[in-house]
Structures are given as structure tokens and as C-alpha cells.
Amino acid sequence: MKSIRDRPVARLAMASVMAVGLAQCDREPREQPIDAEPIIEAPTPEPKVTTPASLDRAAFLGAISRAGSAYATGASPTGADPLVGRTFAIRLPFGCGRPDPAVPTDNDGDAADAGLPTVTWGPENRTLVLSLTPGDWSDTALIVGSGATDRWEAVEGFWLTRPWLGSEACPQTIARDPLGGGAGRADPQTVGLASVHERDSSRLGRRDGQAYRFTLRGEEGRAPVPSPRGYRVVLEGRFASFPDGRAIRCRAASIDQRPVCIAAVQLDRVAFEDGASGTVLSEWRPG
């Protein structure tokens, strides 16, 4: 049996144990450390490969300018020509002034106008005739000198008039220069598209001297009114290549002359458009 004196000691010990227990109960539980998430860099998305748009008049003339400059400086381009295989849709404005006088209906195109679009009055000025006769370029120096005569059976050419004009619309009327002393002559043609036809290929797309032609008639027997902004020829297709693998070939008689440059192409569509409204008047799909 414990003595009376031992009881306060026991009580004190018990109180200490209880205080420690209460202190542990009041202590907030420690938060468990959270492992940091690893930083993962998102992969850089690959650039989307888009199909290049068809070359228009301005883009084609830019390519012609670069080819002419390379020829004049004697540079020899290396590597594959990015132009080969690309599509194009090139518009040629014409008929920007008054229509020419009527021509005989059996005339399928004057040699001087070969490769150039024209608009003329029909008989008695009662119709308007839009016409484009491809030029026969098979025996020209640019084709013969390229070594393609054994490869191409026919080459039909089209000139791009006013190659300084990037716009597809008719130019504005320019007042006569008082220092010019009269009306100036048109510059020689220096930019063209050569529609090439392989030997033993289909003859459906060949014109063989026949003109693309469309006749505009007025309403109720009246003469048609010429479009105030002329007309346009639309040439669509794909660039081909000369035997050297280039799409464009240039030549010049001297260093003081602008090179004549032509591009080998395969035509898919030829059309006449109204220059003011853009309305398609007539079209041909050689293939």
C-alpha cells in the first residue's frame, strides 16, 4: 500500500502524460511533400505544307525578269527549276482602244497578228469579232536552238503584250508626249508562252493555225457596244520544260537589247473575258 506522500507525485506524472497527449492531439498534421511535375516542352508543330497558288500575270512576269537578268549576266541556274510543273492562270488584256476595222471573214489571222489577241468589227459593223491565232514557233531560233525539235512536233506561241504592265486590266489612256513628235510605235514583243506538243501525242489540243474566235452580237439587231475596259484572253495550264530542264528560255541579239524570253507550257484552257465585268464570253479546253 502506497503512502499518502506518494499520491501527489503520481498525480503529477499522470498530468504530464495527459499534457503531452493533448499537445500531440492539438498539433496540426504536416503536409506531405508533393513531387513536382516534370516540365515537358510541347513539340513545335511542323509547318503546314500548302500547295503553291497558280502563277498570275504579275508573278509570271517576275519570273521572266529574273530569267532575262540571269541570261544577260551569263549566269547558269543550277538545281531543279521550281517553275516546272506549276500551274498558271495568265490574263492578256486587249481591245483597250477602238476596235479595228472589219477584216475578210475567210482570213484566219494575219501573220503580223499571230500570237496576239485582236478585236475587230464584223461586216457592216454589226458584230464584234474577238480572235487569237497562235503563232507557229516550231522553227524559231529559241525552239530550234534548244534542241527540242526531235521532242516537240508542234509549238504554238502566244505573246504577252506590254510586259511592263503587271495588271490584268487595260492601261489608262496616256496623253501624247509633246516632245515625242507624233504617235509612238509599239515595242517589239519580248515575252511569250510556247504551247508545246510532244511527238505522237494527241492532236486534240493543237490549233494548226486555226484561230480561237468569238463573235459578239448586239441586242435586237443593233450593233454591240464595245466593253469600256476592253477584253481579256485567259491562258491556263502548267509549265513544261526545255531539254535543259528550265521552263524559260531567253535570247538577245546584243547586250543593248532586251532579251526575248518564252516559257514552255501545256495549255488546259483558253477563254475570252469581258474586261469590265469579268464575264466569260467563250472558252476552249484543249484536253
Burial 77-93 (b: 16+ CB within 10 A, else e): eeeebebbebebbbbbb
- Cα(27)–Cα(12) distance, integer angstroms: 23
- Cα(240)–Cα(243) distance, integer angstroms: 10
pLDDT at 15: 47
| Cα dihedral across residues 70, 71, 77, 83: positive or negative | positive
Around Cβ 206, how many Cβ atoms within 10 Å?
16
- Cα(223)–Cα(126) distance, integer angstroms: 4
pLDDT at 111: 63
CATH placement of domain 82-94+134-170+187-213+229-284: 2.40.50
- Set of cell numbers at residue 202: 494527241
3-class SS of residue 229:
coil
Find where cell 480561237 sits. 212
pLDDT at 187: 87
Residues 6+ apart with CB under 8 A from 2: 10
Amino acid at position 187, single letter: D
pLDDT at 162: 94
DSSP, res 143 = H
- Cα(90)–Cα(166) distance, integer angstroms: 11
pLDDT at 39: 60
- Cα(273)–Cα(130) distance, integer angstroms: 10
Q: How many CA atoms lie within 13 A of 239 on its CB side?
A: 26
- Cα(73)–Cα(71) distance, integer angstroms: 6
Q: What does each of the 287 residues of the chain score in pLDDT, given as a tens digit?
A: 444 445 544 454 444 544 444 444 444 455 555 555 556 666 666 555 454 579 999 999 999 999 999 999 999 888 999 999 999 999 999 999 889 888 765 555 556 689 999 999 999 899 999 999 999 999 999 999 999 988 999 999 999 999 999 999 999 866 666 666 556 678 899 999 999 999 888 777 789 889 999 999 998 888 999 999 999 999 999 999 999 999 999 999 999 999 999 999 999 999 999 999 999 999 999 76
- Cα(81)–Cα(61) distance, integer angstroms: 16
